[in-house]
Structure 1
Amino acid sequence: MLKVLAACGNGMGSSLIIKMKIEKVLKDMGLDCEVHHASVGQAKSDARNFDLVLVSHMLVNEFSNVGKAKIIGLINLLSEQEIRDKVEAALKS
């Protein structure tokens, strides 16, 4: 099962909205996954427990020492197409 974390600098409410978008995209892709959400502060300490972490492209540099986690920076956090494209690319690499 793919473990995914959605993080947003604006707080838990906005990361919940992003989480719902990610869940929809991953379900449409047929992936077995578990999606969580957190503030960036919390996500920085929890990232190592996930396979993918999706954040604003402006926050990617906030994440270091995240073990196996792949950090995906999104320009438009609500774009299902961008989420799909970047998740596919991350899973291929």
Structure 2
Amino acid sequence: MKIFAVCGFGCGSSMILKMSLDRVCKQMDVACEVETTDINSARGAQCDAIFTSAELAGELKGSCTVPIYSVKKYMDLAEVKEVFEKFLSDMKGV
């Protein structure tokens, strides 16, 4: 599976979120490719889901065909894991 970590420019906070998502995937033994990108490139993205801030999630809704998940604290592994588990649960329901 492939997910995008998105921030305004695709090289700052998205990198922090990517590192947290990578750690969570490893802990959960889930094979997942996590890429960073900017908000404009995320529109029309070819991936399974987008993880970003609540602010950017609001901007992306309606312009993306993939599910968008918001994370408040990118370095909080417990929160990132909780949001990632929601994504996995949603994937099973599709």
TM-score under structure 1 length normalisation: 0.83
Residue 57 of structure 2: which of 55, 60, 68 is its match?
Answer: 60
**Number of matched pairs:** 89
TM-score under structure 2 length normalisation: 0.82
1:28 aligned onto 2:31: no
**C-alpha deviation, 1:17, in angstroms:** 2.2
Q: Which runs of 4+ in 1 moved over 4 A?
A: none
Structure 2 counterpart SS, 1:42: helix
Per-residue Cα deviation, 1:20-67 (whole angstroms, up to 9, x for no partner): 111111111111111100111221232xx1112100011111122422
CA–CA distance in structure 1, aligned partners of residues 75 and 7 of structure 2: 12
**C-alpha deviation, 1:10, in angstroms:** 5.2
Q: Which has the higher strand share?
A: 1
CA–CA distance in structure 2, aligned partners of residues 76 and 10 of structure 1: 18
Q: Tell me the equivalent position of 2:2.
A: 3
Unpaired runs of 5+ residues, structure 1, are none
Q: Tell me the equivalent position of 2:13.
A: 14
Q: Matched residues, percent identical?
A: 29
Unpaired runs of 5+ residues, structure 2, are none
What is the RMSD of the two structures over their aligned residues, measured on CA atoms?
Answer: 1.5
Structure 1 counterpart SS, 2:36: strand
